Structure 1
């Protein structure tokens, strides 16, 4: 089995290729603004065929556009020489649709990591490109049954065309490179990790703070990630209860943050899935998530964490307080999450399902011919 994987998800595509190459073969193209892989990803990708593509940049930037066209031409030329059995697109950006006319000779499988752009991120032309990509794909992959149902109903796709597979734990290995025995859980720390974007519902965690610290006076909320934080400053009732790390978080710094955390909170108001859940599981941390998208499908309520309604600071606070007050429950849930990560959410399980879809796509191509 020879697969080409194209997209803009460095962690995900490297881990996917590593798993796929156990008895198969892959060629990976990742579009990025960087000229090389981060060192942690490079270590994981050692021995894999990974190529970097230039991002197109603004259409009025002729240098960036020329660089993009040149790298795209090289990619398509190498794909033809490689002769894959399938091409697997990883949709984060709809720019991948521009490659489809040159790839139609191969079965195309497309993973939609999000069915539509997040709040505040939509571009008017993306819906047309997404429709074109859906039409051109043999199979559409999503990360959860709720997302599968939405793809079928909202985008009028045949049920047989849409498949649900778990989201693989794509950045655990990179974080775990920096795990240290001398860093332990630090008191009552609630961690919000990742880019600060509107759809992640950070305001509801901030509004939950007075309820949390009323019950657990020494609790602290750590907010770690890049993004626009100014609009959240005025929402803080007790500023000294927060630790804000407002920048890009390296794997090394991130590992320390997860090790220190007692609970990892995902107060999202809208989402498809989140890699933060699997990262928390990798560090044996319980999670508190909201009932949005397919996130509840990877969190067993009362076993690996708690699921609460979105936009409800009091419900969020109650779940967090329950975990902060019960160390035995935290440890139990953390162990359960770790077991789930290495079973249901493991790359072996993800790739077993993915390879079955690849084979079906190949069989379909043969029957069409």
Structure 2
């Protein structure tokens, strides 16, 4: 079956983009920015990826339709879901399709339909995290690297990695800022009267080996010795938390919230904390960074992947080598002891968020590449 994406498009019509895939928080911000720039936007996402508290985050005029599936991949009803998607796709007739490759989204059945149109893909992670590199996911990413007309990655480090490790044409790989990411829903739930709680260190997000939580736990005795009353908040879900609990020397120093954190609770945690820590041992970037910036909180993070492009060492936070417990502890101690430095870094981070990482800048860059993709087809 063939279908010409240019059929019935006139100069008077707004350009149309279909955004598909995972990383729904990024999709929301991108969709809103494109609509503000005059584009017509539709978003397709798996049903299980649409939390109720996200639905009111989209601007008016953005059509969201879930990609339905049965209870299993072998469920016969899946064929009807695919036909429904194909019908909606043809009706919308996008000028460009933008895949968001993040999370675990790997729906092979959509790929032949989407490839008919100019295809742009954002690889939020160039390499899969430890424990996530299944054969299915590797092949899915391989296909998209080959099928995409243009590719976005978050920074120069990840562009070099995409080119050197996967032999992708440098001319189609474009670094782009990570953006304000999941900031808006947290800020909307913030309490203006909430104050910082002294000596509070926040570890926020998914809990998996690559996040390096064990190194923060190992650093706790050194930090506690220098900063009496220090408190560590660990908030998020992931792998079995019991192994981390067993590592804790002073269990009473830790406030462990091993469940999915709502935006309201998350906003409170960011407002209460003195600093945010990212002791990662692997990874590309982190959505926690722009959220910390939005709340004017300094960061202590490891210098892995593209993180040094998101955190200005000594200005918006402190970068340390991965797996170095002593260096991590000393950086946290330094910030906890210096409120003026924390406030200065928080202000600088907020400024970076609203300039280098602004959605206006990202939308401009994205539209430029969309136009290239449409012209080259």
Task: Report the TM range for the smaller structure's normalisation.
Answer: over 0.9
Q: How does 1:233-272 map to 2 (within 5 A)?
A: 233-272=245-284
Aligned residues: 360
Say whether the 8 Å CA contact 2:28–2:57 is kept in structure 1: no
Structure 1, unmatched stretches of 5+, are none
Partner of 2:177: 166
Partner of 2:95: 85
Say whether the 8 Å CA contact 1:100–1:136 is kept in structure 2: no
2:166 to 141, 155, 159: 155
Say whether the 8 Å CA contact 1:269–1:311 is kept in structure 2: yes
Deviation string, structure 1 residues 7-46 (Cα, Å, up to 9, x no partner): 1222111111100001211111111316x64234424444
Partner of 1:39: 53
Deviation string, structure 1 residues 254-310 (Cα, Å, up to 9, x no partner): 000000010000111111111000000000000111111101101000000011101
RMSD (Å) for aligned C-alpha atoms: 1.6
Residue 9 to residue 56, structure 1, CA distance change in 2 (3 Å): farther
Residue 276 to residue 184, structure 1, CA distance change in 2 (3 Å): same
| Whole-angstrom CA distance in 2 between matches of 1:70 and 1:317 | 55
| Whole-angstrom CA distance in 2 between matches of 1:120 and 1:346 | 32
Query: Do structure 1's residue 187 and structure 2's residue 202 form an aligned pair?
Result: no
The normalised TM-score by structure 2 is 0.92
| Whole-angstrom CA distance in 1 between matches of 2:193 and 2:143 | 52
| Whole-angstrom CA distance in 2 between matches of 1:275 and 1:281 | 10
2:43 to 15, 23, 28: 28
Deviation at 1:96, TM superposition (A): 4.0
The normalised TM-score by structure 1 is 0.94
Deviation at 1:97, TM superposition (A): 4.0
Residue 152 to residue 238, structure 1, CA distance change in 2 (3 Å): same
Partner of 1:218: 229
Partner of 2:323: 311
Say whether the 8 Å CA contact 1:169–1:279 is kept in structure 2: yes
Say whether the 8 Å CA contact 2:31–2:58 is kept in structure 1: no
| Whole-angstrom CA distance in 2 between matches of 1:164 and 1:76 | 31
Say whether the 8 Å CA contact 2:21–2:105 is kept in structure 1: no
Deviation string, structure 1 residues 188-224 (Cα, Å, up to 9, x no partner): 0000001111110100010111111111111111000
